[in-house]
Amino acid sequence: MYKHHRALIIISISVILFVLFLGWLKRPKPVDVVIANVEQGDVQRTVTNTRAGTLKACRRAGLSPAIGGQIARLPVREGDKVKKGQLLLEIWNDDLVAQVALAKSEILSNESRIKEACVIAEVARREAGRLTKLQKKGLAADDRTEQIVGEAQAKQAACQTAKSLTEVSRSRLAVAKAALERTRLKAPFDGTVAEVAGELGEFVTPSPVGVLTLPAVDIIDTSCLYVLAPIDEVDAPEIKTGMPARISLDAYTKKFFNGKVRRIAPYVLDREKQARTVDIEVNFILEESALKMLPGYSADVEIIINSHSNVIRIPTEALLEGQKVFVYDAADDVIYKREVSTGLSNWKYTEILKGLKKGEKVVTSIDRDGVVDGALVRVEFE
């Protein structure tokens, strides 16, 4: 009897252990999740560009000579720093140089004629005055006096003619100099030579009307840079000039630059019918931060529409549809769905108005399989 009773106890214990083992095998496995702390900080509502923007120079000029000809002088190379008015390129112009020299010689010759004609006119004027006085006293014949006075007037006219001819010569010199300047390409501002499309001895021609050709010299002022970026037409009405912005460039990873909206295009671009955009321009607030940057860099901008400081916030990636989040319970390693009320939001943070408090933890890996209300979880890292 005793042996029979002990056997029943052993069998019962075995059955219980087997059932517990099966339950252990069938228990739900914890889901690996990533969590983040509910914290206090700043949240900004921003608008970003739809496609990559471009870093541009405030001043850039593609220069070509006004007339065609053979390149005779090319004193600059790509990358050279140049000053305003510095010669960049000169076309063969010996004939025009000769015309300038000829016009200068004509001016000198006419100036000598002025002196001669005006001295003779002055002598004639004095003689005519002397005879006129004698005529009044009856000491000079009338006909002789009239003749001398007429000659004096003619010589005075010759003096004026010589002066007029000199003015014509000066005008001719100005025309010759203007024609000569058309053969010289000069820097319109201080800058850097970006590209030179030509070599000594080559021929260059000006662009015909309506035909775009490469400039002979491309010059850029890199002391002032800005970002040109397209903004979706839906977001454009909220943007105003003077709004603060953050600038990021692929060439400067994990670094942001402060900026300010300087211009909003007055029209919508419809190059892509399904994504119409408005171009905006954003200046760097600290110009010295952009001195080593190169025009042409790809850039992105975040325009700050509104900002709230020192508020409860969570990573935006933790927010579910319907204004809900998964809150992590560290005591049971379980997550629970909770409804929240949100305020400002951007791609990184969302402001929480109600439903969470500082120090709680929310799940950010909400797209993983098994992440559901009441799920047992295992935290990967915090």
pLDDT in tens, 282-337: 998 875 555 577 888 899 999 988 889 999 999 999 999 889 999 999 888 888 99
Nearest to 217 by CA among 181, 186, 182: 186
How many distinct helices (H) and strands (E) make up the chain?
Answer: 3, 21
Is residue 318 a contact partner of residue 363, using CB atoms and an 8 Å limit? yes
Q: Among positive and negative, which fits the CA dihedral 187, 189, 195, 197? A: negative
Least confident of 180-184, 269-273, 310-314: 269-273
Query: What's the whole-model pTM score?
Result: 0.62
User: Could you report the per-residue pLDDT of 131-175, keeping only the tens digit for each?
Assistant: 676 666 666 666 666 676 677 677 777 777 777 777 888 888 888
